[in-house]
Amino acid sequence: MSTTSAPALAAALSEPIEKGNSLWHDAWLRLRKNQLSVFGMIALTVIAFACVIGPVLSAYGYEEQNLDLGASPPSGAHWLGTDTLGRDLLVRLLFGGRVSLAVGLSATFVALTIGVVYGAVAGFFGGKRDAFMMRAVDIMYSLPFPIFVILLMVFFGRNIILLFVAIGAVEWLTMARIVRGQVMAVKKMEFIEAARSLGFGRRRIIFRHILPNIMGPIIVYTTLTIPGVMLLEAFLSFLGLGVQPPMSSWGVLIKDGAEKMEEFWWLLIFPGTVFSLTLFSLNFLGDGLRDALDVRSSKD
Amino acid sequence: MLRFITSRFLQSLLALFLVISATFFMVRFVPGGPFTAEKAVTPEILRNLEAHYGLNKPLWQQYLDYLGSLLRADLGPSFKYPNRTVNEILLDKLPVSAELGGISLAVALVIGVTLGTLAAVKRNTWVDYVASSFGMIGISIPTFVVGPLLVLAFAIHFGWFNASGWYTAADRVLPALVLGIAYAAPISRLTRGGMLEILHQDYIRTARAKGASETRIVLRHALRGGLLPVVSYLGPAVAGILTGSFVIETIFQIPGVGREFVNSAFNRDYTLVLGTVILYAVLIMALNLVVDIVQAWMNPKVRLEG
């Protein structure tokens, strides 16, 4: 599991925007005016940074127990208190953030890869192949996928790699639809005809000429997929099917907090707040990006 | 229109068949069987148990047998509750989940459509901002955070409701509210978007020019078109409410299908797992079909594309 993947999101999103051509520059200027998106970006950067650095700096380990202390409310020694096993909640929260963000980013990457390739192929070739591929997507849309993910997790041990793949395999459908629609629009443009007349291969046209032109919708939808994926991970962990203790993730902490909230409110409030804040920020950032890049997505 | 319905129906049947087959083979290939947990089962008894449930037959034979009994609407006996059939168990739990889902959906629609319409009509005023922030908050805070928080506040702190259970009418309030709010949020955003688009249309201007009151314009002329995005979202929303009820039923200890499903998966109760998956799949697909038809009825464009 990569520990640098969390801030990589911020880096990946800001890099082409700052150095890129005027389209990205314009989008950046527009995005900067959207206060909620800027707030989201800052909050995400702070959270991601804290999750990566925090556990290293902390005096406590994420599974270090202190049974004499037990559950204690927030104090000078433990800023967010401790859980019933005397583990420091702050460290568990930050460490859990690494897991949740890593799941969010990797599963989104899986979904992104499958969705973009599938959608691009369907949209580019069109005709019968497209009709068949998109009908298959329609059918898969109507399957109760979360149920399959639950079954997978119950039956095949709660394996974190399997978790990435299972969630990614569920979330690619919408991406495929969006990419297909965009590819169909772009492929009729003149510069694609020019590329064809120059004798370029189909693969080169798809990956070098079409995809770069539909990066906007892809980036927007990727940003909006991450919260969905993180929610699914937390949902599974909440049911006891995702990440397993003593490992920590935001879903695990919220589950633990919900069980003990009657006596120890801090165990629910802090993880719940940080998780919601992260989803909130990602949603606002995605919305802002959609406005800034002027994408009319089929999502809403 | 008939052709449209027929093609959607056949598509649903195919999808259903895929779900049944995929689940059937998945549960058979997993490590561990329904009887592994029982202690001190002699090989002899195990053989008898397997023979009793037909587990000693070749897999394809079991598969065909299962499909055959499905055609007679028989989901088979449960492995974990001896003496009970899957049909009985599901019929026992379904009314509870259906009630929870139904109330939640009603809550979601009433809150969502009202807020969305208000936000669109009063665009860029404080009403819009409040309604839109509610939408974003509702989308971002998951049910398994909202649920325990509401329990903490209204059940434990104020003592207005029971923290869990499913006995009195008051026990319905918190679960349905939590599940309903989660879907009211996207519905309010979709309504707002749809209404904004419709309110710019020429026929709305015509209605205004004819002197129709603003209320009449919104309720009679704009809502039908403005709610189109909401109707197409109903399929995913209902599916989400169904799976969302896993969490809600766990938090509030409601004896519904969702909790039974998670337990049956842990127990490796093959037939109960399969039965529950089939029940969910049939429900979701039937509702999707209804949504498709309603959508076609509301919007001639969709109808013609078929």
Q: What is the pLDDT of residues B53-76, one digit of tens each?
A: 667 777 788 888 888 888 887 777
Domain-embedded: residue B61: no
Domain-embedded: residue A272: yes
> In chain A, which residues touch B (CB < 8 A)?
135, 138-139, 142-144, 146-148, 150-152, 154-156, 227, 231, 234-235, 238-239, 241, 251, 254-255, 257-258, 261-262, 265, 268, 272, 275-276, 279-280, 283-284, 300
Give the pLDDT mean for A14-36.
68
DSSP string, B112-136: HHHHHHHHHHTTTSHHHHHHHHHHH
Q: What is the nearest CA distance from B25 to chain A, expressed in angstroms?
A: 12
User: Would the pLDDT of A20 be above 70?
Assistant: no
Domain-embedded: residue A39: yes
SS3 B95: helix
Rounded to 5 degrees, what angle do the CA atoms A182, A186, A188 make? 130
As a three-state string, the secondary structure of A267-289 is: HHHHHHHHHHHHHHHHHHHHHHH
Looking up residue A261, the CATH number of its domain turns out to be 1.10.3720.10
> Is the Cβ pair B277, A144 closer than 8 Å?
yes
Give the pLDDT mean for A1-12.
52
Residue of B nearest to A284 (CA): B136
Domain-embedded: residue A208: yes
User: Would the pLDDT of B177 be above 80?
Assistant: yes
Stronger pLDDT, B208 or A121, i.e. the higher one: A121
> Is the Cβ pair B145, A143 closer than 8 Å?
no
Q: How far apart are CA B255 and CA B105, in angstroms?
A: 19
Domain-embedded: residue B50: no
**Cross-chain CB nearest to B239 (options A144, A265, A272):** A144
Domain-embedded: residue A136: yes
Domain-embedded: residue A73: no
Domain-embedded: residue A75: no
> Is the Cβ pair B149, A268 closer than 8 Å?
yes
Domain-embedded: residue B35: no
Q: What is the nearest CA distance from B210 to chain A, expressed in angstroms?
A: 32
Q: In sequence order, which residues have a C-beta less than 8 Å from that of residue B262 and are 6 or more positions away?
A: A150, A154, A239, A241, B246, B250
> B9-15: long-range contacts (C-beta < 8 A, 24 or more apart)?
B9/B289, B11/A135, B11/A138, B11/A139, B11/A142, B12/A142, B12/B285, B12/B286, B12/B288, B12/B289, B14/A139, B15/A139, B15/A142, B15/A143, B15/B281, B15/B285
- Lowest mean pLDDT: which of A3-17, A273-287, B237-251? A3-17
Q: How far apart are CA A141 and CA A82, in angstroms?
A: 43
Of the candidates A231, A242, A236, A235, the residue with the CA atom closest to the CA atom of residue A161: A242
Count the domains in chain A.
1
> Is the Cβ pair B136, A283 closer than 8 Å?
yes
Q: How far apart are CA A4 and CA B298, in angstroms?
A: 49
Looking up residue B226, the CATH number of its domain turns out to be 1.10.3720.10
> Is the Cβ pair B280, A150 closer than 8 Å?
no
> Is the Cβ pair A261, B19 closer than 8 Å?
no
Q: What is the nearest CA distance from B20 to chain A, expressed in angstroms?
A: 11
Domain-embedded: residue B160: yes
Domain-embedded: residue A165: yes
- The string of pLDDT tens digits covering residues B272-294 is 888 888 888 888 788 878 877 87
Domain-embedded: residue B215: yes
Question: Could you count the other beta carbons within 10 Å of the beta carbon of residue A63?
Answer: 14
Binned at pLDDT 50, 70 and 90, residue B21 comes out as: confident
User: Would the pLDDT of B302 be above 60?
Assistant: no
> Is the Cβ pair B266, A154 closer than 8 Å?
yes
Q: How far apart are CA A71 and CA A88, in angstroms?
A: 9
Query: Could you tell me the two tokens for A84?
Result: 């019933």
Binned at pLDDT 50, 70 and 90, residue B110 comes out as: very high
Q: How far apart are CA A214 and CA A142, in angstroms?
A: 27
Q: What is the pLDDT of residue A298?
A: 38
Range of the domain at A273: 27-53+88-297
User: Would the pLDDT of A2 be above 50?
Assistant: no
DSSP string, B209-277: HTT--HHHIIIIIIHHHHTHHHHHHHHHHHHHHHHHHHHHHHHTT--SHHHHHHHHHHHT-HHHHHHHH
Domain-embedded: residue B142: yes
Q: In sequence order, which residues have a C-beta less than 8 Å from that of residue A290 and are 6 or more positions away?
A: A220, A224, A297
Give the pLDDT mean for A83-102.
82
* HSE value, Cβ hemisphere, 13 Å, CA-based, for B135: 27
Range of the domain at B107: 87-267
Rounded to 5 degrees, what angle do the CA atoms A178, A179, A183 make? 125
> Is the Cβ pair B139, A255 closer than 8 Å?
no
- The string of pLDDT tens digits covering residues A172-206 is 888 888 888 888 888 887 888 888 888 888 888 88
Query: Is the separation of the CB atoms in A290 and A297 below 8 Å?
Result: yes
Count the domains in chain B.
1
Query: Could you tell me the two tokens for B56?
Result: 């000693």
- Interface probe with A: pick from B27, B144, B284, most Cβ of A within 10 Å: B144
Domain-embedded: residue B68: no
A12 exposed, middle or buried (CB, 10 Å; 0-12, 13-18, 19+)? middle
User: Would the pLDDT of B164 be above 80?
Assistant: no
AA letter at A119: G
Q: What share of chain A is helix, strand, coil (3-state, %, to 5)?
A: 75, 0, 25
> Is the Cβ pair A142, B284 closer than 8 Å?
yes
Q: What is the pLDDT of residue B31?
A: 63
Domain-embedded: residue B82: no
Query: Is the separation of the CB atoms in A244 and B113 below 8 Å?
Result: no
Taking the alpha carbons at both ends of chain A, their separation in whole angstroms is 34
C-alpha B74: how far from chain center = 23
pTM of the model: 0.78
- The string of pLDDT tens digits covering residues A34-79 is 777 888 889 898 988 888 887 777 777 777 777 677 667 777 677 7
* Largest interatomic CA distance in chain A: 76
AA letter at B10: L
B279 exposed, middle or buried (CB, 10 Å; 0-12, 13-18, 19+)? buried
Q: How far apart are CA B98 and CA B256, in angstroms?
A: 9
**Cross-chain CB nearest to A254 (options B144, B246, B273):** B144
Within B54-153, residue ranges assigned H as helices are 59-71, 86-121, 126-140, 143-150
User: Would the pLDDT of A105 be above 70?
Assistant: yes
Q: What is the nearest CA distance from A104 to chain B, expressed in angstroms?
A: 15
Domain-embedded: residue A14: no
